[in-house]
Amino acid sequence: MNYLSTGMISEALAAAEKAYQLAPWHPNVMGVLAGTLVRAGDSKRAEGLVQRLRQAPAMAILLYHLLCLEVDAAADSFEKAIEQRHPMLVPLLGFPSTKPLRSSPRWPGLMKMMNLPETT
């Protein structure tokens, strides 16, 4: 995710592919790989992974939308992940890939749902 936030697409893809080799069953890994594939221009392969994520926890699809820079869809998934009380939401707040979401008009409402200050 950090490679993508700095525009290092080939490095991001290599890291995501390696993570997927190690844990192809993990929905968050699938979400990261799918988002990285989209950014690398391989939407067809990404779609196969996204189909597998339909029943996954909201965090996995949130990661996908964040990496695809789909802010509204990411906000929707963030809201669902809050409802699911996903434990990785707070650490995710500091990741560079959440910057577009933190800049969106929906951010204050999301932070309110988590009982956190808007500037978090």
Distance, CA of 105 to CA of 2 (rounded, Å) = 24
Structural domain boundaries in the chain:
2-113
- Per-residue confidence (pLDDT) for residue 36, from 0 to 100: 98
**Amino acid present at 74:** A
Residue 26 has pLDDT above 90, yes or no: yes
Q: Which two tokens stand for residue 102?
A: 């933190």
- Per-residue confidence (pLDDT) for residue 118, from 0 to 100: 81
Rounded mean pLDDT of 50-79? 96
* CA atoms 54, 16, 42, 79: torsion sign: positive
Q: Give the pLDDT band (50/70/90) at residue 72.
A: very high
Rounded mean pLDDT of 91-96? 91
- Per-residue confidence (pLDDT) for residue 120, from 0 to 100: 67
Residue 59 has pLDDT above 70, yes or no: yes
Rounded mean pLDDT of 98-113? 95
Rounded mean pLDDT of 106-112? 96
Distance, CA of 100 to CA of 34 (rounded, Å) = 18
